[in-house]
Chain A
């Protein structure tokens, strides 16, 4: 029965103990990465708003790359991959020795891969973003070396291999004796894992013990991620070779498709195991079977196929002449719509399993419930993204950033938090330190992240671009600043999380987990939080307008005007203004970047002028070192 915490009738205690240790090792590593990548995210958000100032542009983009991969794979995926071992063990499928070996290998590959990503981005300056669209890694405009690109690719390759070894280990575990499948054949047992027994009970027999629902999404994702990751591994191996042989090349459109052939399913590497946790915990807390579970079991058949044939919704705006991309994209729109169905059926079943049940509002239950709400909301945004016609105005805007932070943190992240509060006591044999502290953590995180995500959605609808170290002036105002208190709130809430985990591990929990009887009203908690948001927003507005009033008084005196600046003469004589807009020189060229927006430092200007940059020619030889230093001082001094 899927609702018992640890299957009593299951095999040896030793295998369950192995699963316990594995899950804990994944939990600690992924939680550490969560805290680190969360801090990087806060740095990005504050720097983009210019509070208290901007970090260097190259560093911002390198941090963006580290944050993206770190948070998405190093936290989200890694955490749910760990809980998968415990969910399987809890439903009577603990890993056998080969599965344990694969799980350990996965842990090392993942940790090494994430460490490599951190080193190559933050220390070596690689900043091509987590999608590293070819040929950008090898066309860095002088910001990072081909070696850094090669080492970064090798690090991501380790992460990719971690995903494959995890899939192999999971599949090996699922087809184990605890499945009760009557057939000894591997493929038949895999079919049982996919839930085919609910459709064809005779063909995929299980001796009258239907496969636990939580097993199905894990089987689906383990099959799909092997298929999705192998082409990416090929692309990454190519990138490693290219670092040493720059003459190698690959079709950029093909590279883009390979990236998204992986990039779409990897989203479900987070979602599907999170769904397995839902299927496992929601019936447990509701005290009854999953409503209409047999229907969702059948719907997963749709997911296993469509998951790997809908990647083109990430490249809807690529339809170059002489390619099939337009036709492929058009076909992928209805296919993407189909994947809504398993999600929706799951939402229905889970919601109505809770509906009028014996649900108690403890920490884990609160997190699961809020995760369901967010899944519904963020899923609705996903339907917009799946529609080609809408993509022309939402793609690569902050709308997308709002959508996936909402989905990744408020659905999957909350499931991870729920699973941490629910499983940690079982894993270490000590009660949770404090349910109340856990609920504070969950509600504050919910308010902070949801608030920040909705602001991003709003900015995106106004056309604010994504992946900009500095937002264009028209988007750098109120909404950007308004997000900051929410980010701080979400960040501070994690302090409560850490305290709760540390105290739990130290055995400071007072009430045994089984006896807890939380008594509180979810409506009161919600109302309290709405008041808290209102107060935060009011404080912000007062501060913002006071700050603006202060700015108005000082503006106009900040720009030093020096008529005989030698750099200004160089700027005019060398013709910089014919390509660059620069207010201090009165120029309005539009070929190159606007220097007022960029706010470059002197070193960067002198490097660009001396060596050339992208389309910009080198001025070495045309200008003396002295002149270059002068113009660099002029450009940097007049904008800062």
Chain B
């Protein structure tokens, strides 16, 4: 929206008779640059805390083992407790996959890559009870779209 408004202002301004002064415009540039840098720094500082790396599930954790292969998920155990941190340990038996988890309302809550020859650890807590659907979110072959799994979260 902002972009569209700016575009219209800019487009209509070319019809104006008064020519803008290049040096003046060059001066304003610094102000705009600092505003953008400030926005980027703010976004960085606000978002970096949500980076999902190296999380710990604590001592009371549950462990979910996930093995992916063309074109199926092996998810154990099938049921988790709500509200208790889960350490998800994922690996692939063949190609690259991605573990995309959709909550009972159908919202994509998170995803993580699943690689062959590696074990990936992700830590998440599922508060909402119900059936969580798992889609593969890294292209893995001609039945990629059929690679669907699920697990349950109970109170």
Contact = CB atoms under 8 A, between A and B. Distances in A.
A339 B119 CA distance: 32
Interface in B11-32: 11-14, 16, 18-20, 22, 25-26, 29, 32
B131 to A, nearest CB: 10
B11 A57 contact: no
Contacts of B143: 57, 141, 593, 598, 613-614
A251 to B, nearest CB: 7
A317 B6 contact: no
Nearest to B11: A522
Q: How extensive is the interface on chain A, given as a class?
A: 35 or more
Q: How extensive is the interface on chain B, given as a class?
A: 35 or more
B44 A61 contact: no
A596 to B, nearest CB: 10
Contacts of A326: 53-54
A256 interface: yes
A389 B47 contact: yes
B117 A356 contact: no
B118 A323 contact: yes
Interface in B42-69: 43-44, 47-54, 69
B141 to A, nearest CB: 5
Interface string A287-330: 01101100100000000000000000001011111110010011
B19 A141 contact: no
B146 A598 contact: yes
Contact of B71 (A141, A341, A590): A141
Interface stretch (A74-82, A106-114, A127-135, A154-162): A127-135
Contact of B19 (A356, A388, A392): A356
B95 A139 contact: yes
Interface in A478-510: none
B135 interface: yes
Nearest to B74: A591
A370 to B, nearest CB: 8
Interface in A341-359: 341, 344-345, 348-349, 351-352, 354-359
Q: Which of A356, A467, A522 has the most chain B CB atoms inside 10 A of its CB?
A: A356
Contact of A319 (B29, B106, B120, B148): B120
Contacts of A590: 73, 148-150
Nearest to A377: B3
B10 A355 contact: yes
B85 interface: no
Interface stretch (A178-186, A189-197, A393-401): A393-401
B48 A395 contact: no
B146 A318 contact: no
B137 A252 contact: no
Contacts of A321: 118-121
B95 A136 contact: yes
Contacts of B155: none
B72 A615 contact: yes
A292 B25 CA distance: 8
B18 A356 contact: yes
Nearest to A138: B95
28 contacts: A61-B141, A129-B139, A136-B95, A139-B70, A253-B117, A292-B25, A317-B112, A318-B113, A318-B120, A319-B54, A321-B121, A322-B118, A326-B53, A333-B48, A341-B33, A355-B10, A369-B10, A380-B3, A388-B47, A389-B48, A396-B98, A396-B138, A470-B145, A472-B135, A522-B12, A598-B143, A614-B141, A615-B93
Given A355-B14, A523-B11, A613-B143, 20 more contacts: A133-B138, A133-B139, A139-B95, A253-B115, A256-B115, A291-B22, A295-B29, A317-B111, A319-B52, A320-B119, A333-B48, A348-B29, A356-B20, A389-B48, A392-B110, A393-B111, A395-B111, A468-B144, A472-B145, A590-B150
